[in-house]
């Protein structure tokens, strides 16, 4: 592919709505974050503290309740929108059967000769094991390699986080190595596995792979 140059003043592939896809957990779509997501976002994050906090980077000076409160969402939403408008991120809310169920974001987007970004995600605890995270990452990866014009996606996951590793393994992400003492999580420097996937490996697409294996269907 020739060097990708986004249209002037526009982030390629943003804003966008992705899906729908039907998985065991329900009918899934991805859409941009909204200011009015505050209540659903905060209630889900507060309820799922035990499910999420042990895997997420530490935030010094703020406890879980404060940084996931109703008042915490507007500045986070504004920051995500600003990054997206500047071409530095692709943030999406995961919606299942019409209800907010998590987030998936491609961040730290670099252009030029690299054309890379990292992918991160979280899903509500009641939907784990239902194929929601796998389908969300597949949708955002296909979008990243297509309209967004990226060449490489990376992910870093703690070796103990087996559910998240299963998501990436199912999609074909390669394990490239171990970052020792990479991120402060829960007050300690934790090792993280580095995984990656490039445009040359995508073939017909990650969503097409899930459909072919019977793990998702297009309604």
Question: Is residue 159 included in any domain, yes or no?
Answer: no
Considering only residues 2 and 111, tell me which one the structure prediction assigns the higher pLDDT.
Answer: 111
Write the pLDDT tens digit of every residue in 70-108: 999 999 999 999 999 999 999 999 999 999 999 999 999
Number of domains in the chain: 1
- Is pLDDT above 70 for 7? no
Question: Is residue 185 included in any domain, yes or no?
Answer: no
Alpha helices in the chain (DSSP H): 38-47, 49-52, 64-67, 73-85, 132-145, 162-171, 206-212
Q: How confident is the model at residue 10 (pLDDT cuts 50, 70, 90)?
A: low
Give the domain range for residue 27.
18-151+206-212
Provide mean pLDDT across the span 12-35.
96
Question: Is residue 61 included in any domain, yes or no?
Answer: yes
Residue 98 belongs to a domain with what CATH number?
3.40.630.30
Question: Is residue 64 included in any domain, yes or no?
Answer: yes
Share above pLDDT 90 across residues of the chain, in percent, rounded to a whole number = 89
Question: Is residue 34 included in any domain, yes or no?
Answer: yes
3-state secondary structure 107-162: EEEECCCCCEEEEEEEECHHHCCCCHHHHHHHHHHHHHHCCCCCCEEEEEECCCCH
Which pLDDT value is given to residue 90?
98
């Amino acid at each position: 592919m020739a060097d990708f140059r986004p249209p002037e003043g526009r982030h390629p592939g943003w804003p966008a709505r992705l899906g729908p896809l039907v998985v065991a957990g329900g009918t899934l779509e991805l859409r941009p974050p909204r200011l009015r997501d505050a209540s659903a976002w905060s209630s889900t994050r507060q309820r799922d503290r035990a499910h999420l906090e042990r895997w997420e980077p530490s935030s010094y000076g703020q406890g879980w309740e404060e940084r996931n409160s109703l008042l915490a969402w507007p500045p986070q939403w504004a920051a995500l929108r600003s990054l997206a408008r500047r071409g530095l991120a692709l943030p999406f809310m995961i919606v299942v059967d019409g209800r907010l169920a998590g987030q998936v974001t491609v961040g730290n987007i670099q252009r030029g000769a690299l054309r890379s970004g990292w992918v991160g995600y979280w899903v509500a605890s009641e939907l784990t094991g239902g194929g929601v995270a796998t389908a969300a990452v597949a949708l955002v990866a296909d979008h990243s390699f297509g309209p967004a014009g990226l060449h490489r996606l990376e992910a870093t996951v703690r070796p103990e986080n087996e559910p998240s590793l299963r998501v990436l393994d199912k999609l074909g992400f390669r394990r490239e190595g171990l970052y020792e003492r990479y991120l402060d999580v829960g007050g300690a420097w934790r090792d993280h596995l580095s995984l990656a996937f490039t445009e040359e490996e995508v073939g017909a697409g990650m969503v097409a792979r899930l459909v072919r294996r019977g793990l998702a269907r297009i309604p």
